Structure 1
C-alpha cells in the first residue's frame, strides 16, 4: 500500500492538471516527486528552497491573486517555524490556502526533535478559522485533500506514515460512529483508530472516528457520551489538544474528559514509530489499561451517586 505522502504527490499532480487555479509551493521536501508536474506546470509548481517563511509568504501572495495554493513540507517546518507568516499572510489577510504536512509527531525518529511536531494542531488552535484534517489512511488523505482544494478556506491536512488497515468513508466534517456502548465515548483521531479498536475490543464503550478535528463535531460527542458524559480522546499529537473542545461540547452536563496523546516530555532516543507509540502509552495494551481505568472510575462514581 502506498503512504499518505505518496498519495498526496499523486493526487496533487492530478489536481494541477485538472484545476487551473491550483498552485503548489514546496521547500525542497518531496520536490523529487513533483518533477514531472513541475515540467508540465512551471508557473504553478514553485520550489523556494529551504526557506519555510518564504514558503508560506509565497503561498499567501498566490492566494491574494485568487488562486488556491497548496504548501507542503514537514509539519515542524510548515506550522511551527513559519508560524508568524501563517498567522499574518493567511489569517490577518483573510485569505485561504491548504497546508499539507509530512512527518507528523515522530514519523522520522532518526531526524531528531527538529523533525517532530506534536504541537502543530494545538498551535493552529490559537488562530481563527482553520479546518484541520487528520486522515488515517491514504484513501482518506486523497478524499480530504480534494475536499480542501475545492474550497476557499484555510485548511491544514496532517499526513502521517502511520496508517489504519482500511479506509473509512470520510466527508470532511462529521465524526463516524463505529461502535456503540454504555460506557465512555472514545474518539479515535486519524491513524490512532486501529490501536483504539484493538484496545477497546470487548469493552462496553462507544468508538467515534475523527478525521476532521476542527471544527470539532460537538453533536456527535454529545450523542455518544449520553447521560454519563464521559469522553476519551486519543490523538496522534499533543495530549489534551482537544479536551477543551470536548469540555465545551458538554458544558451543560456533568462530564469527565480524558485526553490521551503525545506527552509533553521529549523522548531523547530515536527509536522507531512503534517504540514512540509505546513510550507515550498509545499502543493497544497501554490504551486498554488507561481507558479501562477511566471507565471503571466513572462507574464507581455513578454507583456512589445512586
Structure 2
C-alpha cells in the first residue's frame, strides 16, 4: 500500500503536497534527467530519418553523377578508383598510390544547372604538426575566385583527409541574405550544408576501391548518411544535445515557477519559491513518461512536452492551493 500511495503522489496533486519541502537539488536533477530521456527517442527519430536525405537536393548532386557521365568524368572517377584508397586498421585513409594535390572535378548539367563536384585528397599529418592544404572552414567561399557565384552553377566539395571525410554543399555564404546569396534553382532554394565525420568511428570499412568507379557519389552519400545515423544514436550526441538544451529546460520552468509564485504566494497553501519549484519538478514526471513512451512511435509529440507539462503543473497548483488545511 505504501508503494501504491507513493506512486499516487506523482499523479494526484493533493498528494504531491508532501514533496514541497524536498531538496531543490532533486528537482534540478529531475529536469536534467528529463532532457536526457527525451533526447533518446529524438536521436532515434533523427537516425531513422537520415537515409531519406539521400533524395534531398544536396545529396542528389552526388547520387546523380552516375547518370550524367561523359568521357572526362569517367576518366576522373577511374583515376580516383585506381588510387586504391581505403580505411586501414587504425581508422585512417590510406592509398596504394599517392593522390595528387589537385582538384579532381566532376562536372555535369542537370535541368539547366551546371554542377561542379570538387574532390580533394589532403593527407596532412596533424600528429606531425603538418598544416592542411585545404581549409574546410574558409576555402569554399564565394570570396575564392575558383568558387565565385555564377548564375545556374553549383559547387559541391568532398575532402578526404587521413582521418576525416568532409562533405560540403554550396559555398559558405549560400542562403545568406546579407550577402545577397538567397538563390533558387528551379523550385529548390539552395542551402549551405557541411559535415565532417571520421572513418574510425563512423565508417571503419570505408573504401574507394569500388567495383563500379562511376558510383563514387552514391557510395559516399550512403556512407556519410550512415555515419550520420550512427552519430545521432551515440551517447556523445545525446550529451551534446543535453548541453545545448539544458538552459531551455531549466530556464522555462524557472520563469513559469516565478510567475505562478508571484501570482499565488499570498493566497494559496504554497508560499515559498522552493515549494513551487519542487512541485513543478514532480508534476513534470507524468507528462515526461507519457511523451517519452509515445515519442518512440510518434516523435513529433516531443514538441508538445512543454505545453503538456505547463497545463498539468497549473492544474496541480490550482488543486494544491485550494486544498483544505486538514488535507
- Flag whether TM exceeds 0.5 (same fold): no
TM-score (normalizing by structure 2): 0.27
Higher relative contact order (CA 8 A, sep 6+): 2
TM-score for both structures, normalised by structure 1: 0.28
Higher helix fraction (1 or 2): 2
Q: Select the structure of larger CA radius of gyration.
A: 2
